[in-house]
Amino acid sequence: MPRVSLLRRLKLAKTVVWVTKRPFHARDVGRLGVGTALDVGYRCIFIDGSNALHPEAVNPPPHPLDHPDLEVRRPSSGRALVGEINSLGAVDLVIPTTATMGLSPRYVAAMRAVSRLDAPYLVIAPYPIPVHAPPGTTRPRIGRLRDRLRAFDPANSLIGRLPHGWLGVRQADYALYSCTLSAELRNNLVGATTVPIYSHSPDYDELLSSGAMDLPVRDQAVFIDQYMPFHPDALRKGTGHLDPQEYYGQLNRVFERFEREYGMEVVIAAHPRADYAEKPWCFPGRRIETGRTIATIAESRHVFGHYSVALSMAISLRKPITLLSSTALLAHHVSAPTYYWGYATELRLPLGMMDGDIDAIDFGHADNGPGPRFEEYEQRYLRHPLSSGSPLWSTVFSRILGEN
């Protein structure tokens, strides 16, 4: 077990530090355990290294969370980032999200500074999503080799092979695994003495804490909206154009057929960034739920979606799912086919093509239930079999820091 100094054992209030590569976001309150730490009385220091580590990116201002026990620091350079870490003094736990995928050249200096602290540090293994190539897709061997050569980074490859101790970086004290697949992913900072902590994904954690499992089920279906034609990230990245009239027209024709055959309405769980107030033509006459995605899924008998991570809620709640796509959606960006076919392959569900024969989309599995493949998916992507089922970050903090 990691050594804990006498000084920190005598402290009354424990201090948790996050070293991140992205700006402090509202979702970090739940996904990175900031809210849980504040609730139990820990002092929290969030070192936002986005400007220091990724100056080439457009880094928005940090989320304004006013709490007397939370301090958000934002160093402007790599040297300043290392200085912030060096100045921490006695702390109880460090969570460097820069170490999620292991050691890489961009993060070596920060991880050296973390290693010099007299405190254990925790590696969060990635929260994976299903990714598969479409059926029948093959790449010529020369094409695969060309892609590998283009992506090859000599410095990253070298650091990935060197013993981390040679670079002044010590092995992680703890590693957090959310599912069986995350535990299988290699991280060169995890070694023989790293203590594993098995739990579940933040999405599964959000479901557990929502109370949605106790909600009554209504005669309705739900569409998990991704705001596809208008999503700000898609527009910023310059992905392929989606014709909004065509896209929403196709969706509504699918929903109308389902409503005729199953006698239940299809409601919309709007994407958090969606604004349909000025676009009533998108879902004419349909009930749109905003900020209630988990609850609306729990209340529904059937779920429609593309490849949203919110599908994990439907999977954990064992809701029958219809996956929808189209030729235009598959061409929307270069990775789109792997996401659509990822869910279709893992859940062994058909991919309904909205621009084809609408009557050919298979709703039949709605009568048969999701089957054991959902349990397999949950353990592979959402919940480790050794998870206690206790809240994610309460599990982490009690395991490392004990009772507050």
Measured CA to CA in angstroms, residue 96 lies from 122, 147, 177, 254, 400 at distances of 7, 30, 15, 45, 15
Domain CATH number, residue 316: 3.40.50.2000
At residue 368 the predicted structure's pLDDT band, cuts being 50, 70 and 90, is low
99 near 122, Cβ under 8 Å?
no
Three-state SS across 178-200?
CCHHHHHCCCCCCCCCCEEEECE
Q: Are 59 and 131 part of one and the same domain?
A: yes
For the stretch 187-199, pLDDT in tens is: 889 999 999 999 9
Give the CATH number, domain containing residue 27: 3.40.50
Residues 191 and 215 in one domain: no
Same domain, 56 and 194: yes
Beta bridge mates, 220: 265
What integer is the mean pLDDT of 37-59? Answer: 89
- 96 token code pair: 């460097």
Same domain? For 185 and 271 the reply is: no
Residues 303, 395 within the same domain: no
Residue 304: inside a domain: yes
| Residues 22 and 171 placed together within one structural domain of the fold | yes
pLDDT digits (tens, 9 = 90+) for 236-267: 444 557 899 999 999 999 999 999 999 999 99
Structure tokens at 223: 């569409």
Residues 193 and 228 in one domain: no
Alpha carbon distance 75, 82 (integer Å): 9
Residue of 132, 322, 94, 142 lying closest to 222 (CA atoms): 322
The verdict on residue 71 lying in a domain is yes
Query: Half-sphere exposure (CA, 13 Å, Cβ side) for 204?
Result: 25
Asked whether residue 84 falls in the same domain as residue 71, the answer is: yes
Asked whether residue 394 falls in the same domain as residue 374, the answer is no
261 with 347, same domain: the answer is: yes
Mean pLDDT of all residues belonging to the chain: 86
Q: Quick one: pLDDT at residue 27?
A: 80
d(CA 335, CA 134): 11
The single-letter DSSP state of residue 382 is: I
- For residue 1, tell me if it sits in a domain: no
* pLDDT above 70 (res 304): yes
* Residue 251: inside a domain: yes
As a whole number of angstroms, the distance between CA 274 and CA 232 comes to 9
The whole domain housing 375 covers: 208-382
How many C-beta atoms surround the C-beta of residue 103 within 10 A? 20
Region at 389 (left for phi over 0; alpha for psi -120 to 50; beta for the rest)? left
> How many domains in the chain?
2
